[in-house]
Amino acid sequence: MTTIQYAPDGTTSWTAAAVLTLCNTSRSITELDVKFNHKRSIQTEPGFGAAAAAFFDNQNQQNTLSLKVRRSVDFTSPAPVAFPDPEGALAFALQQPTSFPTTGALRIQLAGAGGTNTTLYLLNCGVQAIALSDWLGEAPAFEYTFTGGLISTASPF
């Protein structure tokens, strides 16, 4: 089971009306095509003469998480979003960027078949991209890419 929710800045709880549920599914995260990229800001000072280069960790972390959600199957609660036709799906996709007006926190709840059960938070994140990545009639896949800072086990509220 995977549940991913986005809470914009200013939200005070995970049950607030402003919280967006991106997926709530029993499908495997491999089916969601989850990709993760962690970058750390390292400053490099070149070595002069015989000296070797020096590296300084600036303690800045940048994490990017992307996932592909098929809205008609990746929601067990709230109910799946069914589109009346492909044009309805496109209209929904074109309005998606306005649903993410600011930075916030992403809550990632994971419950694996092998016993993994954890909740992680991508803090100080924002939506980098939303793409309508493929079509299956009224069940298109939306790919969300979030970029943020620290990944934590502590909830921001």
Residue 20 lies in a domain: yes
Residue 32 lies in a domain: yes
Q: Kind of pairing, strands 2-8 and 104-111? A: antiparallel
Residue 117 lies in a domain: yes
The string of pLDDT tens digits covering residues 113-130 is 888 999 999 999 999 998
User: Taking the CB of residue 30, how many other CB atoms lie within 10 A of it?
Assistant: 7
Per the omega criterion (within 30 degrees of 0), is the bond before 78 cis? yes
Q: What is the predicted pLDDT for the residue at 111?
A: 92
Cβ contact 145:125 at 8 Å: no
The string of pLDDT tens digits covering residues 88-107 is 888 888 888 777 878 999 99
Which residue, 7, 29, 15, is CA-closest to 111? 29
* CATH code of the domain in which 78 resides: 2.30.110
Residue 51 lies in a domain: no
* Beta-ladder partners of 62: 39
The string of pLDDT tens digits covering residues 12-39 is 999 999 898 888 998 888 889 999 988 8
Where helices occur in 1-157 by DSSP H, the ranges are 86-95
| Containing structural domain, residue 72 | 2-38+60-152
Residue 83 lies in a domain: yes
pTM of the model: 0.82
* Beta-ladder partners of 146: 65, 127
Q: What is the predicted pLDDT for the residue at 127?
A: 92
Cα–Cα distance measured from residue 40 to residue 33, given in angstroms and rounded to the nearest whole number: 23
How many domains would you assign to the chain?
1
Residue 49 lies in a domain: no
Residue 17 lies in a domain: yes
> Percent of the chain scored above 90 by pLDDT?
38
Three-state DSSP class for 29?
A: coil
